[in-house]
Structure 1
Amino acid sequence: MSRTGSITSESALARSISEATDTTVSASAFDRVITAVDASHYLLTPRAVVTPKSVAEIAELFAFATAQGEALTFRSGGTSLSGQASTANILVDTRKYFRHVEVLADGHVARVGPRCHSAPSQLATAAARPKTGAGSRKRDRVHDWRGRRQ
C-alpha cells in the first residue's frame, strides 16, 4: 500500500500531528504494531497511532489530514475480519474515549458513542426505566436493535 502524504518518517509525522492538533499521538514501533493487529489476515503497520479524546480533536485530525494529503483510518469497535481497521497511514483509535452512554426518554432511548457495545447501553436504559406494577419484568426485557424483545 502506498503512502499518500508528503511527510516521510513516522516520527516527523507524529510531530506534525502533535503540533497541529491536541490529540495523543504515538509513532513508537510497539504502539504501531500492537494497534495494527485485528482479526483479519492483513498486517499493515500504521505510520502513526492517534487517540483522540473528543469530536473537536477528530475535526482537527481531518483538517490536518486534508492539508497534508494524509489518509485516516478509524478503529472503533472490536475486530475486523476483512481488514477495514488496517492501514499503512494514520490510524485513529477511538476505542478508549468514546464509550459514553446517554440515556434519554425515561430509559427508552440511548445515545451511545462509537465504541460502546450493546450490553452497556442496554443495561443503562434498563436501569433508567421505571419498574412498577404487575408484569413489569416483561416490559423491562432488553430489546435488540430492531426493537424486538429478547
Structure 2
Amino acid sequence: MREKMNAADICNRIVTVAERSMPLGEAASLMRERHVGSLIVVDDTGAGRIAVGILTDRDIVTAVVAQGLDPAVLAVEDVMTPNLVTALEEDSIKDLLSTMRHKGLRRLPIVTPQGLLVGLVTLDDLLPLMADQLRDMAATIEAQYLHERRDRP
C-alpha cells in the first residue's frame, strides 16, 4: 500500500446511480441487477452528476416494506436519505474512516469540491487495506523478536 493513499486512489469509479424521479421498484431492480446495496442519487447537470442523496436496500426495507407502503407509488426521492455525507478526492484513508465511524456509514461517495460524483468508497474497500497494514505490523513484530533472539541468545 502506498504511504499516502487518498480517496481518489481507492474509490470505485463505477458507481450505480439513480435519479430522484426513478420509480422505487425500478431502483430496487437496478440494485439486484448490479448486485449493489445502494444507489447514489444524482442530479445531472451540464458540468456532470451532482450527488444529492443515497438509497440503500435497508432504506427500502425499513421505510417501505416494514411500514406496509406500496412501492409501486413511490419514487427514489420519497425514500432516499437526502442529507448526503461525502468525502473529497484528496481526503486520506484516515479521514474516510473517521467520517464513516462518526457518522455511522458503510458507504461514502467521493466528490469534487464542486460536488460532482467521482466514485464510492465502502468499508469493504477499506478492509483489505487495513488487513495489509495489520499483516505488515505483525511481520515487523516477528522480525524484531527474531533479531532479539539472534542478538541476545
The structure whose residues are more often helix, as a share, is 2
TM above 0.5: no
TM-score by length of 2: 0.31
TM-score by length of 1: 0.31
